[in-house]
Amino acid sequence: MSDAEEAVKTLTELGLTQYEARCFVALTRLSTGTAKEISQVADVPRSRVYDTIERLEKKGLVDVQQTEPREYKAVSVETACRRIREDYDSRINAAENALGQLEEPASRDDEGMWAISQKEHVSERVVTFLEDAEETVHYLLSATEVADQSILDGLQAAVDRGVSVYVELPTDDDYEAFSERVSGANVVVAEDLQSTNEVYAEWPGQLLMVDQQAVVASGVTESDLPDVVNEMAIWTYGRDHGLAVWMRELLDGRFAGRDEDRALDD
């Protein structure tokens, strides 16, 4: 893909039409240009150049010289990018304001089972649930590499709000590293997390339960790329959902058992 084609593609992704992007890119390659010249360089029908340039002028991306024939000139790249950014931001703000005026339904539509296929979206879901935590967080981490900084910050913020945070990690080294980055959580070493089973080349990654009703369970797979982890997950929300019920029983049992073991050691 040429630089011009890449520029056209990027501009259309930012909200310009195909013709607008082509005409603007053509003008950035010309000092000034007539409709005929723009048509030839941009590969846009000459009959469409006039209305396209008019729209670009209204967007503040093109200047028009009243000659015969008319001459057109693109504003500087810096000015164009600033004006496109301002327009893009205004659209986002308008959308945010409009969506904020909508009434939320009385019941949560996200109740049920949902799948996530990209690692960054897994982290976003974990962080979202951590931000909503009011009472308890149960967090099991088998593949420690999936706990990025946003998750660690979310755990710390939950602790700082007074939420009871329980964490299980596979090794003593993980315990030391985690304790330095998140303080105030109830952290234990669970050696069984070191020997999780492979199923179809996938291993357990992280398991989160918040307030005994919001659950995220992920698995990781090997990647052909260095230092890259592929992570997929399922999540659910709802105290009465089957997965939440089972996770509540299993996790409560694990932590209760560990409390008993600590009491016997004491």
Q: Report how far residue 211's alpha carbon sits from residue 193's, in angstroms, rounded to the nearest whole number.
A: 23
Check residue 9 and give left, alpha or beta (phi > 0: left; psi -120 to 50: alpha).
alpha
Instruction: For 84-136, write each residue's pLDDT tens digit.
Output: 999 989 989 999 888 888 866 555 545 677 888 888 899 999 999 999 999 99
Confidence grade of residue 264 (pLDDT, cut at 50, 70, 90)? very low
Confidence of residue 49 (pLDDT cuts 50, 70, 90): very high
Q: Has residue 263 got a pLDDT over 50? A: no
* 162 pLDDT higher than 50: yes
Which residues are 113's β-sheet partners? 236
To the nearest whole number, what is the mean pLDDT of the chain?
85
3-state per-residue secondary structure call for 36-101:
HHHHHHHCCCHHHHHHHHHHHHHCCCEEEECCCCCEEEECCHHHHHHHHHHHHHHHHHHHHHHHHC
| Residue at token pair 């369970």 | 217
Q: What CA–CA distance (Å, rounded) separates 181 from 234?
A: 26
Q: What is the pLDDT of residue 40?
A: 94
What does the pLDDT read at residue 266?
A: 46
Strand pairing report for 202-210 and 186-189: unpaired
Confidence band, pLDDT 50/70/90 cuts, at residue 11 = very high
pLDDT at 230: 86
Confidence of residue 48 (pLDDT cuts 50, 70, 90): very high
Q: What is the pLDDT of residues 174-207, one digit of tens each?
A: 898 888 889 999 998 887 776 665 555 678 889 9
What are the Cα distances from residue 24, in Å, to 72, 87, 118, 129?
10, 16, 35, 44
Percent of the chain with pLDDT over 90: 48
